């Protein structure tokens, strides 16, 4: 299959009808300063589909918004699935658009991870399977809204997870010696300064507020790991497997944090 347009797997808010500010529900918490039901526009959303407090989200109690990543699903639904018709000027599209958006987000997230797995040369034995599934999911994202809404996301996620896990195992096998297995582990506040986590399994690990200063996370599988307030100053994340932008956005780093070239240094880092 031809290589996917990777830019299409990154959010382009200027081409989206602020679907993440309307479709999902959120509850008042440390991440959000208010309750908002699904399908209702956030009170901070302006008429031009821009956030009225975008530059002040963290101090205004809305850090959850700063770490949300739609993987490009927003502009896909807005511009392709619904052909540029926005839910304000075409209110008859609103209900279906808001139902399709989370489905598209799941599909784009899977496309992102499958593409990342295909970038792992060690995972060559499963490249055919990864490519075949990526093609099927990509074709699914181009279906009409009604068909998209009925997508069996759980089934596709199950297929993807099996392939992604195998790709991760193949990549991490290139690291010599015994690797740490912290899959799903509670590492909240853990003291891991300068830890050698090369090739570690950190899938789904809770790294909230963990001290990862100077830690070596090369070829560590971090899919689904919770990096909220984790201190990654000086950490080496250059080859971390399945690292995504929102994980960095949730963490605390600085200029000494080593990142892969495909991801950006968050603006709020020191």
| pLDDT recorded at residue 4 | 65
| pLDDT recorded at residue 1 | 43
- Its domain, for residue 38, covers 6-171
pLDDT value at 187 more than 80: yes
Domain-located, residue 1: no
Query: Within 13 Å of residue 142, how many CA atoms lie on the same side as its CB?
Result: 7
pLDDT digits (tens, 9 = 90+) for 215-230: 999 999 999 999 999 9
Domain end residue (candidates: 156, 171, 186) = 171
pLDDT digits (tens, 9 = 90+) for 61-77: 999 999 999 999 999 99
Domain-located, residue 56: yes
State the residue for tokens 């100077």: 214
CA-to-CA separations, 64 to 197, 208, 218, 256, 264, in angstroms, rounded: 28, 14, 27, 25, 18
pLDDT value at 2 more than 70: no
Which pLDDT band, with edges at 50, 70 and 90, does 27 fall under? very high
pTM: 0.94
- Please indicate, yes or no, whether residues 81 and 154 belong to a single structural domain of this protein: yes
Q: How many CB atoms lie within 10 A of CB 121?
A: 10
- Please indicate, yes or no, whether residues 164 and 196 belong to a single structural domain of this protein: no
- Please indicate, yes or no, whether residues 58 and 166 belong to a single structural domain of this protein: yes
- Please indicate, yes or no, whether residues 153 and 180 belong to a single structural domain of this protein: no
Average pLDDT over residues 138-167: 97
When the pLDDT of each residue in the chain is averaged and rounded to a whole number, the result is 96
């Amino acid at each position: 299959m031809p290589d996917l347009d990777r830019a299409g797997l990154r959010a382009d808010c200027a081409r989206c009808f602020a679907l993440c500010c309307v479709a999902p529900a959120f509850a008042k918490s440390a991440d959000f300063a208010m309750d908002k039901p699904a399908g209702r526009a956030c009170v901070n959303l302006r008429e031009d589909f821009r956030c009225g407090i975008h530059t002040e989200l963290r101090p205004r109690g809305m850090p959850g918004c700063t770490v949300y990543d739609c993987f490009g699903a927003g502009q896909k639904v807005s511009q392709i699935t619904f052909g540029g018709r926005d839910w304000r000027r075409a209110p008859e599209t609103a209900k279906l658009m808001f139902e399709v958006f989370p489905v598209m987000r799941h599909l784009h997230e899977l496309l992102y991870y499958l593409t990342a797995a295909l970038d792992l040369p060690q995972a060559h034995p499963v490249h055919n399977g990864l490519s075949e599934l990526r093609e099927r999911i990509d074709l699914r994202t181009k279906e009409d809204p009604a068909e998209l809404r009925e997508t069996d996301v759980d089934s596709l996620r199950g297929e993807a997870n099996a392939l992604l896990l195998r790709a991760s195992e193949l990549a991490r096998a290139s690291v010599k010696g015994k690797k740490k297995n912290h899959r799903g582990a509670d590492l909240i506040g853990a003291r891991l300064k300068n830890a050698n986590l090369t090739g570690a399994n950190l899938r789904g690990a809770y790294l909230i507020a963990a001290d990862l200063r100077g830690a070596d996370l090369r070829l560590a599988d971090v899919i689904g790991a919770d990096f909220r307030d984790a201190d990654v100053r000086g950490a080496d994340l250059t080859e971390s497997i399945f690292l995504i932008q929102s994980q960095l956005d949730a963490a605390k780093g600085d200029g000494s944090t080593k990142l892969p070239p495909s991801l950006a240094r968050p603006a709020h880092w020191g």
